[in-house]
Amino acid sequence: MNAAALACAPSGTSWDGINWADAQRRVRGLQARIVKAVQDGRHNKAKALQWLLTHSFSGKALAVKRVSENKGKNTPGVDKVTWNTPRAKIGAIASLRRRGYSPLPLRRVLIPKKNGKTRPLGIPAMKCRAMQALHLLALEPIAETTADPNSYGFRPERSTADAAAQCFGVLSRKANAEWVLEGDIQGCFDNISHGWLIAHIPMDKAILQKWLKAGYVYRNELFPSHAGTPQGGIISPVLANMALDGLEAMLAKRFPNAKWTARKMQMVRYADDFIITGCSKEWLENEVRPAVVDFLAERGLVLSPEKTKITHIGDGFDFLGWNLRKYNGKLLIKPSKANIRAHLAKLREVIKTNKSIKQVNLIGLLNPILRGWANYHSHVVAKKVFNQVDSEVWIMLWRWAVRRHPRKGIRWVKDRYFKVRGSRRWVFSTVEKYADGKAREYTLLKESDTPIVRHIKIKAAANPHDPNWDEYFEFRWGKKMLKSTKGRAKLYRVWRQQGGLCSVCHKPVTKDTPWHSRHIVKLADGGTDAAVNLEIYHLRCPRDQQYANVKEV
């Protein structure tokens, strides 16, 4: 370990010797204090706490851990440097200093979009990523405290499923609005005003300005950056969200009581996509849309002319991969046709480009795609679509199998690739034998086996950085565990470890006794999801007053 690392870290600290639970606990404590300071209107206090966090060893260690262990850990920036060794990581902690910091330009790559265009992606150097992760630890508690209540994109503990549930809540009833303004911001990440960000984002202004003005390298040529926050930066989604936060409050101020009067105004936003409901097409076009345009203009943004439109709920509209439409007064949320086509095209491409691989390998490529898409749509009206996708996939696989054996008969091909499993025939399955004599069966997942379970929307005011909400998020975590197959298996192991007894009153936990699970050491305090850190308890256990008032959501 070099001298700079020793100066930054506690005496004798090595990467493998860092107490991560303690680091998480220290950062969590500072984040909770930042939230409290913002809630009390003590912004100078919040600023001082941010400085403490960004200069703390724990904050720097967690920032380096994040960027050196995530999916992009092997993707270098323009300097072609990655942190793959413990020595490099502990040295990186020492390098995260404000004084003398000068960010490198981004390495730009172009990502193809569905419409044939490309999306520019900026890849920062590892040190810049770590600095962004460090300052994000201090900025995110403020962002979560001041965020719009119905904003769901790029926020912890929120998802597209929450946005869909909110859409259902504001559109499903007969008395709800029938007109919807579909808003889409043109090049949101690329066009946000640097001046607005520097003036309004509550973080170190000098560091932020350096990031925004770092420029990018494309085809060995350096280009300056005059606007926008690069897609690919760890902190960029939060900056974009904070630039758009306030839109909901502006509309409420501009049109007071419009939510409860005949105007029926409601808003749901996911990143730069949003909808605003209203009583009439004319009101949305002539009053609401100009207000939105003025709000965005202050931030250097404009609405996309081709994607922004006003639609009647009877005609339906697409949002986040779903189609929302009322049929005879009943709102149904289904996978959109464009999303279904894109999914089938992806499956077809995988099968066509792997004409000669083994069946077990093809199953390994297809199952994650099928499982991920089915899980994404598992809380909407999708059972019929799942059956349709299964039928299309069967046709693709049959053609794949027949093409491999042009001289074999249909029955031979069927027996080779498609098995009978219980009451099901034509199951795409194979048995793989290993050198040790063991054999394992691999079966293609059927999307129609995915159960449709209604998603419970997160409470609008819930803040994962506020200790007052810890109990609520712990309860939601337990619900998610019960929904997943791996989660249920893990909870069964915990139940066996406890001898089938409640961890509090030591009485039997059965299907007939309401029960739930929780972490022994909270995740916020450095705990893990390992079975040894879980316990099962009666939901209404009289001896556990701390959880006696928890209500199911």
What is residue 227's predicted lDDT score, i.e. its pLDDT? 85
What is residue 336's predicted lDDT score, i.e. its pLDDT? 97
What span, in angstroms and rounded, lies between the C-alpha atoms of 15 and 128?
A: 20
Whether 156 is in a domain gets the answer: yes
Element (H, E) at 283: helix 281-283
CA angle 165, 239, 266 (to 5 degrees): 30
Whether 206 is in a domain gets the answer: no
Please name which of 214, 208, 192 lies closest in space to residue 78, comparing C-alpha atoms: 214
What is residue 498's predicted lDDT score, i.e. its pLDDT? 85
| Residues 135 and 29 both lie in one domain | yes
| Residues 285 and 301 both lie in one domain | yes
Whether 415 is in a domain gets the answer: yes
**Where among 312, 334, 356 does a domain terminate?**
334
Whether 461 is in a domain gets the answer: no
| Residues 177 and 308 both lie in one domain | yes
| Residues 114 and 136 both lie in one domain | yes
What span, in angstroms and rounded, lies between the C-alpha atoms of 167 and 331?
A: 10
Domain that holds residue 66: 1-146
**Where among 87, 120, 146 does a domain terminate?**
146
How many domains does the chain fold into?
4
DSSP-derived secondary structure for 312-375: ETTT-EEETTEEEEEETTEEEEEE-HHHHHHHHHHHHHHHHTTSSS-HHHHHHHHHHHHHHHHH
What is residue 66's predicted lDDT score, i.e. its pLDDT? 94
Whether 139 is in a domain gets the answer: yes
Cα dist from 199 to 95, 98, 202, 329, whole Å: 28, 20, 8, 47
3-state secondary structure of 299: coil
Whether 475 is in a domain gets the answer: yes
Q: What is the pLDDT along the chain (553 residues), one digit of tens a residue?
A: 343 433 445 555 789 899 988 999 999 999 999 999 999 999 999 999 999 999 999 999 999 999 999 888 898 989 999 999 999 999 999 999 999 999 999 998 888 876 677 777 889 999 999 999 999 999 999 999 999 999 999 999 999 999 999 999 999 999 899 999 999 999 888 899 999 999 999 999 999 999 999 998 988 889 888 888 877 789 999 999 999 999 999 999 999 887 777 788 999 999 999 999 999 999 999 999 999 999 999 999 999 988 899 999 999 999 999 999 999 999 999 999 999 999 999 999 999 999 999 999 999 999 999 999 999 999 999 999 999 999 999 999 999 999 999 999 999 999 999 999 888 999 999 998 887 778 899 999 999 999 999 999 999 999 999 999 988 988 888 877 777 767 777 787 888 888 888 888 888 887 667 777 888 887 777 778 788 888 888 876 744 444 444 443 3
What is residue 483's predicted lDDT score, i.e. its pLDDT? 73
| Residues 167 and 306 both lie in one domain | yes
3-state secondary structure of 282: helix
Q: What is the pLDDT of residues 418-469, one digit of tens each?
A: 999 888 999 999 998 887 778 899 999 999 999 999 999 999 999 999 999 9
First to last CA, the chain: 50
DSSP-derived secondary structure for 386-427: HHHHHHHHHHHHHHHHHHH-TTS-HHHHHHHHEEEETTEEEE
Give the strand pairing for 106-112 and 216-218.
parallel
Strand order in the sheet with 330-335: 317-319, 322-327, 330-335
What is residue 391's predicted lDDT score, i.e. its pLDDT? 97
Whether 312 is in a domain gets the answer: yes
Q: What is the pLDDT of residues 64-102, one digit of tens each?
A: 999 999 888 898 989 999 999 999 999 999 999 999 999
| Residues 239 and 357 both lie in one domain | no
CATH number at residue 234: 3.30.70.270
Please name which of 311, 319, 204, 318 lies closest in space to residue 269, comparing C-alpha atoms: 319
What is residue 110's predicted lDDT score, i.e. its pLDDT? 84
**Where among 399, 419, 449 does a domain terminate?**
449
Tell if the pTM clears 0.85, that is, is over it. Answer: yes
| Residues 132 and 171 both lie in one domain | no
| Residues 151 and 273 both lie in one domain | yes
| Residues 263 and 159 both lie in one domain | yes
Whether 65 is in a domain gets the answer: yes
| Residues 444 and 480 both lie in one domain | no
What span, in angstroms and rounded, lies between the C-alpha atoms of 215 and 128?
A: 13
| Residues 370 and 322 both lie in one domain | no
| Residues 188 and 263 both lie in one domain | yes
